[in-house]
């Protein structure tokens, strides 16, 4: 079975260049499809502090998808891991999930910060973040993601 989905919106302002780090403080606007959604579709959303945004790495090439284990960012100091142990554009469907802070709802424009998608990225779904739906129990991860992402949410110098 194949799932066919279409974008519900697009990132229209924010960061333009694709980069691995320095996403902290980036302010963006997600414009929802005005022809598809009435203003009531965002009613109540402004009561939440954060969103869950599913978007597509639509500027990455399908040829970038990698099914075999490899070292993150090509750094052999980190272990080779498979695509399902990564959160980058080399994953099979090239989908991403981000958790930006919602600053303001202006009609069907959602003003956010700390969204790590560039202008032109297609948004396929969004919802408010519910703390009760977050991870339960202790979160466990190896050391390499923390090392790799040390500057991810830093502001660009």
Sorted by where each starts, the structural domains of the chain and their CATH numbers stand as 9-148 (2.40.30.70)
The predicted pLDDT at position 156 comes to: 77
Does pTM surpass 0.75? yes
Which are the contacts of 81, defined by CB distance < 8 A and separation ≥ 6?
Answer: 69, 70, 71, 72
Which are the contacts of 137, defined by CB distance < 8 A and separation ≥ 6?
Answer: none
The rounded distance, in Å, linking the Cα atoms of 122 and 143 is 31
Give how far Cα 92 sits from Cα of 52, 62, 69, Å: 20, 8, 13
The predicted pLDDT at position 72 comes to: 92
3-state secondary structure of 75: coil
Q: What angle do CA 110, 113, 117 make, to 5 degrees?
A: 85
Q: Please give the average pLDDT of every successive group of 10 residues along the chain, which has 157 residues.
A: 95 94 93 97 98 96 93 94 93 95 98 97 98 95 94 86
Tokens of 85: 């142990």
């Amino acid at each position: 079975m194949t799932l066919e989905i279409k974008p519900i919106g697009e990132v229209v302002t924010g960061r333009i260049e694709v980069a691995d780090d320095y996403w902290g403080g980036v302010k963006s606007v997600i414009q929802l499809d005005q022809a598809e959604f009435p203003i009531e579709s965002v009613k109540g959303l402004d009561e939440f502090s954060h969103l869950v945004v599913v978007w597509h790495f639509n500027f990455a090439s399908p040829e970038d998808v990698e099914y075999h284990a490899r070292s993150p960012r090509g750094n052999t100091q980190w272990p080779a891991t498979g695509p399902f142990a990564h959160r980058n554009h080399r994953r099979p469907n090239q989908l991403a999930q981000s958790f930006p802070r919602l600053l303001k709802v202006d009609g069907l424009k959602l003003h956010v910060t700390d969204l790590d998608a560039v202008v032109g990225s297609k948004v396929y779904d969004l919802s408010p973040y519910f703390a009760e739906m977050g991870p339960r129990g202790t979160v466990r991860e190896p050391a390499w993601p923390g090392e790799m992402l040390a500057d991810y949410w830093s502001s660009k110098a």
